[in-house]
Copies of this chain bind each other. A is one copy, B any other.
Amino acid sequence: MLPKNTAERLSKIYGVLQTISKDAEYVTSKELAAVMGTTDFTIRKDIGALNIMNFGRKGYHVEELSSALGRVLQLTRPYRTCVVGLGKLGTAVLDYEAFKDAGFDIVAGFDINLNKVERLHTEIAVYHSSDLDHIVKSKSVEVAIIAVPQASAQEVATTLVANGVKAILNFSPAQIKVPKGIALYNMDFTAALRFVVSQI
């Protein structure tokens, strides 16, 4: 498994490569660094450590680097993904087009409010939260996005993991605990705002 900091940066590099792959055949570490707000040294170190390709005179070959990073990041197949909690944020995430292009198939949404489940206009199958356990299992969901209120986030995470989910993206402000071997990333909006003002 990749070190966290490296994997985080490589995931961003991978995303940048997707956006520039239509326009450019080669990209330099300097160009990548400028877009990512880091140094070209860090970029070369991160990519260099993978021993996947050399940095030639023209820079990295965009498509080769992209496909090599895809393999390293395990993005060579689609992941069955669900969204738990269909408030404003959850429904925004449910319909987030970019996920599908990136290989994340949103196969189910869940909410505790039955009216909301019935009212939602989306092509994705939505269920009441009481069905979370058996739907996650029967649909072989591997990745989950949590967008429930802080108070219920841990219980939801525990149910998800018990039914086979291997990776969780947590949008709630809760500090969720997961067993070893389960991947967790907190999208902490407040921490992000604090970080950005510390850079003023």
Interface flags for A177-200 (1: CB within 8 Å of B; 0: not) read 000000111111111111111111
Q: Is A49 an interface residue (CB 8 A)?
A: no
Complex CA–CA separation, A17 to B188 (angstroms) = 14
Q: Is A4 an interface residue (CB 8 A)?
A: yes
Q: Once the chains bind, are B1 and A199 in contact (CB under 8 Å)? A: yes
Interface flags for A2-22 (1: CB within 8 Å of B; 0: not) read 101101101110111001000
Q: Is A55 an interface residue (CB 8 A)?
A: no
Q: Once the chains bind, are A193 and B89 in contact (CB under 8 Å)? A: no
Most buried by B among A91, A166, A197, A200: A197
Chain B residues, CB < 8 A from A142: 197, 200
Number of interface residues of A (CB under 8 A): 61
Q: Once the chains bind, are B88 and A200 in contact (CB under 8 Å)? A: no
Known: A2-B198, A74-B200, A92-B89. A193 touches B104 (CB 8 A): yes
Chain B residues, CB < 8 A from A75: 194, 197-198
Q: Once the chains bind, are A194 and B14 in contact (CB under 8 Å)? A: yes
Q: Once the chains bind, are B169 and A192 in contact (CB under 8 Å)? A: yes
Q: Once the chains bind, are B194 and A11 in contact (CB under 8 Å)? A: yes
Contact of A196 among B92, B169, B199 (CB under 8 A): B169
Report A's interface with B, CB cutoff 8 A.
1-2, 4-5, 7-8, 10-12, 14-16, 19, 35, 37-38, 72-75, 79, 81, 87-89, 91-93, 95-96, 98-99, 102, 104, 142-143, 145, 166-169, 173, 175, 183-200
